Amino acid sequence: MTDRETHWAGLMRAAIRGDDGAYRRLLKDLAPMLRALASRGLARHRLGSEDVEDVVQETLLALHLKRGTWDERQPFSPWLYAIARNKLIDNMRRRGRQVHIAIDDIGELPDGETTPTAGLNGMDAERLVSRLSGRQREIVVAISIEGASARQVAERLGMKEGAVRVALHRALRSLAKAFRAETP
Amino acid sequence: MNTDNLIAAIAADGAAGPPSIARRMAVALGIGGAISGVLFAYSLGVRPDIASALQTWRFATKLVIVLTSFAVTLWAAARLARPDANELRTLAVLVLPLAMLALAIAGELALSSPATWPAWAIGSNSRLCLISVAVLSVAPLAALLAALRAGAPRLPAMAGAVAGLLAGSLAATLYATHCVDDSPLFVALWYPPPIALATLVGAVAGHRMLRW
């Protein structure tokens, strides 16, 4: 078991116990690795790198929405790689590719191999956010782009904080669903 | 929206909260099983001579086989709800109840005279068996599929199929305590069709409902 595995699993456990800071650190930590994984997978199938960020974002969303399928007694990395692989395949299938990726085809990355270009936009995500219903879009934009907290958004929109959280969660689910339905 | 923005939104939603998929499935099985259990108790009920029946090898074997099937499909269904399940290794456990059934059939053929085989196999009420097992698997299957929507199966149809197998095994376990046809020949002939039907329904529903 690598240090990285221990580190990630520790952050994820803390996140599940309610430590949002640990969750944010984990996701920020994972993004460059997922980016490297996605670009390598797409390159192997001779697909352009313009979809890389979409795959990363879809994987992060799936990690979030499906975190209940991680068994805390099991290692974290194989679970994460399995999700990343699924999302990569989904992305390629949507683009009409026949893909056959063997179970171990996307193996573990050597430590340190990452692609840190975090500023890249996911083209699809941009379009998908614009498709969210008005209130949901307002909330997502305020929290994600303006960096507001749920409480601040609640005050600004005259909503209860709980209602903002519910709307945010629904918005993330809609976003994941919209990714799946997307046909370029 | 760039990835950092998305991460901010996800972190704001937080990781705490949702129950694990294992717990969701346990709750679903509890609810679906309770509905079928009540249905079973009202319409069929446990056979009155169950205490003495348990002393006979045929009834005891029948119960052990359906319970084993229930246990291994429960384990397999929980595994297949996860994205990193090894499908082949998981499905391999399903051989266990089949092997036990094969062994029981061999025992029956060795112990009883061939003249009795047709009567054992046809039994007293095969139609009731077919209908009951199919009907009793409906509620558990529906509940399991609903719970599995929170899952992340790599192969949704397979996850749905094993949920059907699990629901069918639960239904078969209930029905087995009512039925007086205890021969492994009867079990091998009449239990699998309704369980297979639940499996098929589960596979089709899984294919449609469980993609993520």
A29 part of a folded domain: yes
Domain residue spans in chain B? 18-209
Looking at the structure, tell me whether residues A66 and A139 fall in a common domain: no
**Cβ distance of B5 and A169 shorter than 8 Å:** no
**Cβ distance of B10 and A16 shorter than 8 Å:** no
A111 part of a folded domain: no
A137 part of a folded domain: yes
Within 10 A of A43 (CB to CB), how many other CB atoms are there? 12
Looking at the structure, tell me whether residues A19 and A92 fall in a common domain: yes
Decide which of A65, A100, A135 is a domain's last residue.
A100
The tens digit of pLDDT for each residue in B40-89 reads: 999 999 999 999 999 999 999 999 999 999 999 999 999 999 999 999 99
The tens digit of pLDDT for each residue in B1-54 reads: 788 889 999 998 988 878 899 999 999 999 999 999 999 999 999 999 999 999
A133 part of a folded domain: yes
Looking at the structure, tell me whether residues A74 and A158 fall in a common domain: no
Query: The domain that contains A41 carries what CATH number?
Result: 1.10.1740.10
A34 part of a folded domain: yes
Confidence of residue B132 (pLDDT cuts 50, 70, 90): very high
* Chain A residues inside the 8 Å CB shell of B13: 64, 165, 168-169, 172
Closest Cα of chain A to B75: distance in Å?
A: 14
User: How far apart are alpha carbons B109 and A126 in whole angstroms?
Assistant: 68
Looking at the structure, tell me whether residues A75 and A157 fall in a common domain: no
Q: Whose structure tokens read 């003249």?
A: B115
Looking at the structure, tell me whether residues A130 and A173 fall in a common domain: yes
User: How far apart are alpha carbons A82 and A71 in whole angstroms?
Assistant: 13
**Cβ distance of A172 and B22 shorter than 8 Å:** no
Q: Which two tokens stand for residue A9?
A: 């699993």
The tens digit of pLDDT for each residue in A119-146 reads: 455 556 677 777 788 888 888 888 888 8
A114 part of a folded domain: no
Looking at the structure, tell me whether residues A73 and A131 fall in a common domain: no
Which residue(s) pair with A121 in the sheet? B2
User: How far apart are alpha carbons B14 and A102 in whole angstroms?
Assistant: 33
The kind and range of the H/E element at A159 are none
Contact B134, B67 (CB under 8 A): no
Looking at the structure, tell me whether residues A11 and A88 fall in a common domain: yes
Query: The domain that contains A158 carries what CATH number?
Result: 1.10.10.10
Looking at the structure, tell me whether residues A9 and A55 fall in a common domain: yes
As for how many domains chain A has, the answer is 2
Which structural domain, as residue segments, surrounds residue A30? 1-100
Q: Which two tokens stand for residue A54?
A: 């979409």
Within 10 A of B209 (CB to CB), how many other CB atoms are there? 16
Q: What pTM was estimated for this model as a whole?
A: 0.89
**Closest-CA residue of chain A to B80:** A69
The pLDDT of residue A103 is 46
Looking at the structure, tell me whether residues A56 and A16 fall in a common domain: yes
The tens digit of pLDDT for each residue in B76-130 reads: 999 999 999 999 999 999 999 999 999 999 999 999 999 999 999 999 989 999 9
A109 part of a folded domain: no
Q: Whose structure tokens read 């795959």?
A: A55
A12 part of a folded domain: yes
